[in-house]
Amino acid sequence: MKQNLYTIAENNCIAKDTYRMVLKGDTSANTRPGQFVNIEIPGLYLRRPISVCDCCSEGYTLIYKVVGKGSEALSKMEPGARLDLLTGLGNGFDVSKAGKKPVLVGGGLGSAPMYAVAKAIRAADPDAEITVILGFNAAEEIVLVKEFEELGVKLEIATLDGSAGTKGFVTDIMKRLDYSNFFTCGPGPMARAVEATAKTSGQYSLEERMGCGFGACMGCSIQTRSGNKRVCKDGPVFEREEIIWQTPK
């Protein structure tokens, strides 16, 4: 984990209530796709965790949605502003387990870390047959289509209202595919649906409310087959075989 100041290079609305922020600064703490950063927002007590969509030597690309005070404040920040970030947080995906035909499944903003996963798999194996399934409520929420297509993946879209791609859920597409392994990130109900559908081993990036973001407060603990684990520190990525799925409250 590192703490540094980053300069906003871009901060643009790219879909309904959804923004892309490009930050310039040190990315050396980021070692795997699926890790996240924790952003300090002036005037607010808790930092805001956001998954890394893309990472290069110059900085980070983050995708976030306006859902509360913190994200609303972020959306109003102009290029040139400086932000305090904790970086290199969490354990990411192990793309060495992808195999030759991996499937990547992202729901809503869970699509963002899937781009980093696809990019890492493509870099490790240029010949991998990567399928990416993205799920959204409606066409107006879709993001990252061009970016995924430029990686040469097979891209499938599902929307609940049928306004783009397949009408229904990401699992409706997943059911008809053959794949070597899966990687997924999205809301809890989607993760449970993937668990009920998946045919192979895989890895989940779990979404939990985080207090500190680096394992101190224990507020995001879950049960696993090897004991309680902290989503922010021991995850957010977990192997399918180690997760104990709890009954939703």
pLDDT in tens, the chain (249 residues): 899 999 999 999 999 999 999 999 999 999 999 999 999 998 998 899 999 999 999 999 999 999 999 999 999 999 999 999 999 999 999 999 999 999 999 999 999 999 999 999 999 999 999 999 999 999 999 999 999 999 999 999 999 999 999 999 999 999 999 999 999 999 999 999 999 999 999 999 997 666 677 777 767 888 899 998 999 889 899 999 999 998 765
pLDDT at 9: 98
| Residues 48 and 62 both lie in one domain | yes
Q: How far apart are CA 229 and CA 236, in angstroms?
A: 10
List, in sequence order, the alpha helices (H) in 22-106.
69-75
Name the domain boundary from 58, 89, 120. Answer: 89
Strand locations in 75-169 (E) = 82-89, 103-107, 131-136, 154-159, 166-167
212 is a domain residue: no
Distances (CA, A) of 86 to 5, 22, 39: 9, 16, 7
For residue 159, the enclosing domain spans: 95-205
Strand locations in 66-181 (E) = 82-89, 103-107, 131-136, 154-159, 166-167
pLDDT at 248: 67
249 is a domain residue: no
Name the domain boundary from 48, 63, 89. Answer: 89
Name the domain boundary from 89, 115, 143. Answer: 89
Taking alpha carbons only, the member of 63, 75, 58 closest to residue 7 is 58
What's the full length of the chain, in residues?
249
| Residues 57 and 108 both lie in one domain | no
pLDDT at 213: 73
Domain count, the chain: 2
184 is a domain residue: yes
pLDDT at 132: 98
Q: Which two tokens stand for residue 110?
A: 């869970």
CA gyration radius, the chain: 17
CATH number at residue 120: 3.40.50.80
51 is a domain residue: yes
Q: What is the layout of strands, in order, in the sheet containing 237-239? A: 166-167, 154-159, 131-136, 103-107, 182-185, 202-205, 237-239
